Structure 1
Amino acid sequence: MECEVNMFKLFSSNTKNASANEELVAVTLKEGTAKAPFSKDSAFAPNANGGYDVFVNTNDFKWYQVAAKTIASLKLYNFEFKSDVALSELDLYWFLTALYDGKHDYTVSCDYAQNVLDKVAMTVNTVSVFRKIADSDSKISTPEKVINVLFDLVKEAADAQGDSASLKLIKRGDLEFEKYAGLNAVGFASDEDPCMGIIDYVPKCCQKDSPVQVALVGKGITFDTGGYSLKPDKYMETMRTDKTAVVYLCGAVTLAAKLGIKKHVRLYLCCSENMVSGRGMLPGDIVTYPNGISVEINNTDAEGRLVLADGLLQAGEDKAQYVLDMATLTGAAKIAVGRDMFSVLTKEKELDKSLVSAFEKTGEMYWQLPLAQYHRRFLSSRRATVTNSGHGEGAPGSSVAASFLEQFVDKNTPWVHIDLSSAYLPDGSPFLAAGPTGSTILGLATWLCE
């Protein structure tokens, strides 16, 4: 699978080699408003250097990303960047992230030390690679192919650091695959083999047989029709991105490798298509997992939690000390918090402090939603332990989905669930272009390095 990724080249304006072969437009961020004859509401105006002044209000939320969107609207891909207002290293990262459109390379000269720019460029380019993969066609990114592509990137980063990364690929037809009840059920209708990809990342500071400190379990539905609970056209057209969680988790591990990961991490990539055929999963089917939980299918479009259950059980079997799962799981999370942030749910009332610190340190936007024992009542079934989708008046979708997953996690193991409502922006926002956002990659990478 080939993914041509637009890249960022950053040069310090203090060095003479900046953009030797590029003609740069002078762009300056200025606090305040445009002067006459331009309207004071104008976001930009020509400057004396033949370039543009871009006007910002530093009291505005994410003003540096709003400024980047203005620059992008001018179709400036090579520019010398100055700012009357200081941008931190993190601000610069998010500024560049907002420029990304999946189409163009950027060359930017700015007044930072070259070592700072090298680190920022490495970070934003790594995230851009995974944003591009998240948007790749489903005919290219089949379950097996996407696992192999993601592993190659993790392995390349591990080799560069002298760390170890290995892949165990288990797919339909393999004897070991039979225990993955969710993947078998969801993938049965597809011509492409559903797969469990287990990537083991062992940094050089850990022994290969050391305990798995962190299990990262991801939903990787490479295309989601909804099955017999068929999605409307409006919601199906972007379902190539229903694999985003496995992509971003691998992005986080790849970036963490480059930043200096300190934890033995194991990734569980639960990948399948959710298609329609005469042999496909039907409403009313009952799926039974190795832990004895039986699930009545009342919605074939609630397939993500079925495959995640396989990964969570495998992580438990591997005795992972900490489990984090992530999925583009519910529309309810988007309704609750929108697409600009992701939802986090856990059995505990307070999130893990190190995870909170990493998210806040990196500017990742999240919100904790409730998870309580009473949410299980919305999964009641006459014929099985639970249904796979919530039902009943006032069922809170994201909390109910997390309640379903909780049944597959050892009660003594710390566990966090991320409902990735911020995975993708169909129409863009004031802060990012349309398409995959890269949300969580930097935050999770930072967490893994602590």
Structure 2
Amino acid sequence: MSDKNALIQPDRGQKAVTIHLLNKDGLEPFLKGLSVPQRAALDAQKFTGEAGSHAIFADGDSWAVAAGVAAPAALTSWCLGKLAEVLPEGTYRCSGGEAGKALLGWITGQYRFDRYRSDASDEGPRILLTTEVRAIDAVTAAAEATELVRDLVNTPAEDMGPGQLEAEAEGLAKAFRAEIHVTRGEMLEREYPMVHAVGRAAGRSHAPRLIELEWGDPSHPKIAVVGKGVCFDSGGLDIKPGAGMLLMKKDMGGAAHALALARLIMGAKLPVRLHLLIPAVENAIAGNAFRPGDVLKSRAGISVEIGNTDAEGRLILGDALARAGEKEPELVIDFATLTGAARVAVGPDLPALFTREDRTAQEVLDAGLAVDDPCWRLPLYEGYREYLKSDIADINNAGSSGFAGSSTAALFLDRFVPAGTDWIHFDTFAWRPAAKPGRPKGGEALGLRAAWHLLQQRYTPAGR
């Protein structure tokens, strides 16, 4: 992670390089106020005010930056992300207005995952000054949560197995004085049989477990946050091809999102009773691996026929969601890198969103747009439940049709969430296949800030 506390600081009149935020319409008036040499410098760099472009020019005994943005009066989270990557180290301030939402991208644009590199950069930070002092803590927290997801997802499975996810949860529990409980071994087999079945082939070194963390005043509204923690997915006996395994270190991306959201909730002291649940497994291959055609018991008492061992995420989530429902929460949020079908439907940038309530769906969509973390709703269509029918069990874990794969996966999960519970399911990619300003290639938080903004809207007391 970058040193986030140093990247945005209160503006107390320190010496800083000025960044002039411009678009094509505002370029001509700006040029009129410059000297001939200054205009020549911008012209030589072919600066036109196009969004994402920038140019450097002399400014008295120092220098300044002209930066193109789409709308200087309505900055996005990412419009300064590229600048934060490419400008020389130093201290900067925006002229003619504050950076607003762009403070986030200024921080996340300087993220580097260099844990395994011998040539890691030692360049200093780019610091942005702001008079929006009250925003610094909130922006820093959002950036830290985003970069936590990136770090966890980017870490290879050998160093990010079920034990390491447990250690991350233990760290949160210690930092925020939360209660933590981990179920393993024979007790896991009895209480969470699907979690055990999926993870048992990984052996002792990556043994499966159900991680639970509870925090907050028990009298406050109860919410559950659940994250799929498949630390590596070989596909099991329905083994993936080699190309299909290359990114499977990211199959614990749902757990990463859940941990990051829990950190935001506890860090902000949101008045809720939080129940965090992470079923952590590796879907490996061994003589005791679960098989296609097996029928598994579940914590909810629903029998599940295994149509495909590569549809394992929904199995472990089923047990975790059943456990979450036992606490009678008023809201359940789960994150999972659940289906390739969601990526086919909405691409890599948009997490697929499923909810039971139209009102809740609209709240999430609005929250995502407000913080530049958009989502896209897909249907929990009752007509597709027939795809999950089994001849010998209550339900099959794999759809009988090639159609609506993300919807059928969500409908499977729906069976394990108690009726009447407000439920939000994010089928997220947790990965960025190509870099964008403020968002490097690799692990990524998609849906995290949308969920956090929704929770703030619902549970922040008036006047706070």
Structure 2 counterpart of 1:91, from 91, 96, 102 = 102
**Matched residue, 1:401:** 409
**Matched residue, 2:191:** 179
Three-state SS of the structure 2 residue aligned to 1:189 is: helix
Does residue 213 of structure 2 align to residue 199 of structure 1? yes
Contact 1:30/1:85 (8 A) holds in 2 = no
Contact 2:193/2:296 (8 A) holds in 1 = yes
Does residue 310 of structure 2 align to residue 301 of structure 1? yes
Change (3 A) 1:388 1:365: same
Three-state SS of the structure 1 residue aligned to 2:307 is: coil
The alpha-carbon deviation at position 345 of structure 1 amounts to 0.7
Runs of 4 or more above 6 Å deviation: 59-62
Question: Residue by residue, what CA displacement relative to the aligned partner does 1:81-131 show, whole Å, maximum 9, x if unpaired?
Answer: 42556532x332244334433347734132424443344234323432342
In structure 1, distance between residues paired with 2:363 and 2:164 = 34
**Matched residue, 2:287:** 278
Three-state SS of the structure 2 residue aligned to 1:300 is: coil
**Matched residue, 2:160:** 141
In structure 2, distance between residues paired with 1:389 and 1:60 = 49
In structure 2, distance between residues paired with 1:185 and 1:264 = 30
In structure 2, distance between residues paired with 1:289 and 1:115 = 47
**Matched residue, 2:31:** none
**Matched residue, 1:82:** 94
Does residue 66 of structure 2 align to residue 53 of structure 1? yes
Contact 1:281/1:300 (8 A) holds in 2 = yes
Change (3 A) 1:154 1:254: farther
Change (3 A) 1:132 1:176: closer
Change (3 A) 1:355 1:46: closer
Does residue 395 of structure 2 align to residue 386 of structure 1? yes
Does residue 427 of structure 2 align to residue 419 of structure 1? yes
Three-state SS of the structure 1 residue aligned to 2:231 is: strand
Change (3 A) 1:38 1:71: same
**Matched residue, 2:22:** 30
**Matched residue, 2:452:** 445
Three-state SS of the structure 2 residue aligned to 1:249 is: helix
**Matched residue, 1:235:** 244
Identity of aligned residues (%): 26
Three-state SS of the structure 2 residue aligned to 1:110 is: strand
What TM-score do the two structures reach when normalised by structure 2?
Answer: 0.82
Three-state SS of the structure 1 residue aligned to 2:202 is: coil
Change (3 A) 1:113 1:154: same
Contact 1:309/1:408 (8 A) holds in 2 = yes
Residue correspondence of structure 1 range 207-222 to structure 2 within 5 A:
207=218, 210=219, 213-222=222-231
Change (3 A) 1:388 1:138: same
Contact 1:44/1:52 (8 A) holds in 2 = yes
**Structure having the higher Rg:** 2
- What RMSD, in angstroms, separates the aligned Cα atoms of the two structures? 2.8
Structure 1 residue ranges without an equivalent (≥5): 19-23, 160-164
Question: Residue by residue, what CA displacement relative to the aligned partner does 1:117-163 show, whole Å, maximum 9, x if unpaired?
Answer: 3442343234323421232222222212212222312431x24xxxx
Range with greater deviation from structure 2 (432-441 or 273-282):
432-441
Change (3 A) 1:311 1:62: farther
The alpha-carbon deviation at position 389 of structure 1 amounts to 1.5
In structure 1, distance between residues paired with 2:72 and 2:376 = 22
In structure 2, distance between residues paired with 1:62 and 1:236 = 38
| Equivalent position amino acid for 1:58 in 2 | A
Structure 2 residue ranges without an equivalent (≥5): 28-40, 115-120, 460-464
In structure 1, distance between residues paired with 2:132 and 2:329 = 41
Range with greater deviation from structure 2 (192-201 or 92-101):
92-101
In structure 2, distance between residues paired with 1:61 and 1:234 = 42
Change (3 A) 1:260 1:358: farther
Change (3 A) 1:120 1:349: closer
Contact 1:134/1:241 (8 A) holds in 2 = yes
Question: Residue by residue, what CA displacement relative to the aligned partner does 1:347-392 show, whole Å, maximum 9, x if unpaired?
Answer: 3344256545543443321111011111111222223222211232
Change (3 A) 1:248 1:182: same
Question: Residue by residue, what CA displacement relative to the aligned partner does 1:307-332 show, whole Å, maximum 9, x if unpaired?
Answer: 00010111122333322222110111
